[in-house]
């Protein structure tokens, strides 16, 4: 793997998306969705999972309900998916390749960084409380460690989260 090189144009700050960019959560969400469907005797399809990916949990689960004509409510499936995810997190959650080197480089350069996500703070990956990574100083709540880091921001309302993070500097 090559080392991350800072660009020539000075960075004012860096905002990361939590799911799929920082951590391997996209594959875990797909596993959760497949398990929910297996429990109901329904087939999992790439087409459905592709349509669900990137949506807020409630909207994705409603797609699943509509697709398979499930009798469950969104709230029931949300609780079940959280239970499954919490079971998977301790053993499976891992940072994406290169993340830790990038975080070290940004911290050494004094560049503010933060995490933006459409997930709620209650979502298992956002809390990461049951994971070995929750105790890693590189990934712990940056606001508690460094004046160059921003806390987790969760919002999908206007303005877009990326604009809100840029203004926090």
Compare 102 and 129 and report the one with higher pLDDT: 102
Is residue 136 part of the annotated active site? The answer reads no
All structural domains of the chain with their residue ranges? 14-24+94-167, 25-92
Helix 57-68 vs helix 74-92: crossing angle, to nearest 10: 120
pLDDT in tens, 73-122: 999 999 999 999 999 988 888 888 888 888 888 888 888 888 777 665 55
Residue 156 has pLDDT above 90, yes or no: no
- Given the candidates 1.10.150.240, 3.40.630.10, 3.20.20.60, 3.30.420.10, the CATH classification of the domain at 25-92 is 1.10.150.240
Residue 1 has pLDDT above 80, yes or no: no
- In the predicted model, what is the mean pLDDT of residues 56-75? 95
- Choose, from 19, 33, 50, 66, the residue flagged as catalytic: 19
Which 3 state secondary structure label does DSSP give 23?
Answer: strand
- Choose, from 17, 33, 66, 136, the residue flagged as catalytic: 17
Residue 155 has pLDDT above 50, yes or no: no
Q: Which regions of 7-141 does DSSP assign to beta strands (E)?
A: 14-17, 113-117
Q: State residue 154's pLDDT score.
A: 44
Residue 130 has pLDDT above 70, yes or no: no
Q: Which of 151, 149, 136, 138 is CA-nearest to residue 103?
A: 138
Q: Are 18 and 117 spatial neighbours (Cβ–Cβ below 8 Å)?
A: yes
Is residue 19 part of the annotated active site? The answer reads yes
Q: State residue 166's pLDDT score.
A: 52
Q: Are 20 and 26 spatial neighbours (Cβ–Cβ below 8 Å)?
A: yes
Q: In whole numbers, what is the pLDDT of the chain averaged over residues?
A: 75
């Amino acid at each position: 793997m090559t080392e991350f090189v800072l660009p020539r144009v000075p960075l004012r700050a860096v905002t990361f998306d939590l799911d799929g960019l920082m951590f391997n959560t996209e594959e875990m969400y797909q596993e959760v969705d497949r398990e929910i469907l297996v429990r109901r005797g329904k087939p999992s399809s790439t087409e459905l999972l592709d349509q669900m990916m990137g949506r807020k949990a409630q909207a994705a689960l409603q797609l699943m309900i509509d697709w398979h004509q499930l009798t469950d409510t969104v709230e029931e499936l949300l609780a079940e998916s959280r239970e499954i995810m919490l079971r998977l997190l301790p053993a499976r959650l891992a940072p994406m390749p290169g993340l830790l080197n990038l975080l070290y480089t940004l911290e050494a350069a004094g560049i503010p960084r933060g995490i933006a996500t459409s997930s709620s703070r209650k979502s298992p990956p956002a809390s990461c409380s049951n994971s070995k990574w929750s105790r890693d100083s590189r990934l712990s709540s940056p606001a508690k460690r460094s004046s160059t880091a921003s806390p987790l921001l969760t919002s999908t309302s206007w303005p877009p989260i990326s604009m809100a993070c840029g203004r926090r500097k």
